[in-house]
Structure formats: structure tokens, C-alpha cells
Amino acid sequence: MSEGHLLAVEVVPESFERTPRGPITGEIWFVLEGQPFPEERWSDFPVVVLEWWLEAEFDLWKGARRSGVLRFMDGPFAVRVHAVGSGHCEVECVELGVDSTGVGVKEVPKASADRVDLLGLVQSTRVAASAAIDEARKRGWDDDDDLTRLMQLFDEGQQLVHGTDG
């Protein structure tokens, strides 16, 4: 876990796999106050979800929206993030499911925290994105459209994060 961050993103680039011209899979998860979510070494689509997460986090950081959802592609898991001002946010790790009627959606809270450092979250996600980009490029997967978009977001984030004191 990245020290000093209440909510961190973990990724294991060595776990990445790809079928010929298919999406990149590998291990990615959050760590909230020392606890993994949805679980340590969660297998998912790290390039795709990092792309989604960076977009949502950048919107929060810029003030374009007050809340966002950081979803996993595999499984019914997400982290709800709500900006509360002064560079902080509230987070709630949830498991999404169907309610007893079979029609509506219910959320089962798994963990939550107040006053999470939003810049710390953005930086942790960018570190994970950088590791994912480096691994994919090292393996010659530059033809992946999601990777291309993640690299663009990473570059946009460089200006966003370093263009402010937070």
C-alpha cells in the first residue's frame, strides 16, 4: 500500500495476460485503511478500470462533479466517492446486487471512510496506471485501444495534478 494514502490502488503488472488482440487482464484492487477491496489480488481488466477510475477522479478533482463511482468490470463491486471540499472525499466500498423484488438495485456497504485525500487517491491511481502502461508496452501490447486511452488520460493527469498545489 502507498504510505500516507487512506485509499490506494494496487496493481500487479506481472500478473497481466492477454489473448491475441484481446483485453488485458490482471490483478487490481483498492486498499482502504489497510483492508483490500474487493479482495487482495482481485482479477479484473486493469487497463479498462484504470481508465474509468482516472476519468471519474479527474472530474472530481476539477470540480466538474461532486461524486463518482469507481467500478470494477468483473463482479458487482464499486467504490463510491463523494467530494466534500478542501481536497477531501468520502468513500464507500460497496457490493452491488439485485433487491428482493428482482428489479431494483441494492448496495451492500463493505467499508467506508471520511476525509480521504482526493489528491492522494488520484496520485495512487496514476502510479498504478503508469505501472500498467509500462508493463503493457514492455510486452508489445501498444495496439490495445484501451491502453492508448489510458496513456492519454495519464498525460492529461500530469498537467492536472502538477498544475495545482491541491
166 inside domain: no
16 inside domain: yes
**Residue 46 belongs to what domain range?**
7-160
32 inside domain: yes
1 inside domain: no
Which band of pLDDT confidence, cut at 50, 70 and 90, is reported for residue 4?
Answer: very low
165 inside domain: no
Number of domains the chain is built from: 1
The pLDDT value given to residue 82: 95
Q: What is the pLDDT of residues 45-65, one digit of tens each?
A: 999 999 999 999 999 999 999
Residue 94 to residue 71: CA distance in whole angstroms = 10
For the chain, strand residue ranges (E) read 7-18, 24-32, 35-37, 43-44, 67-71, 77-85, 88-98, 105-117
2 inside domain: no
Helix (H) or strand (E) holding 2: none
* pTM of the shown model: 0.88
Q: Which residues contact residue 102 at a Cβ distance below 8 angstroms, ignoring those fewer than 6 apart? A: none
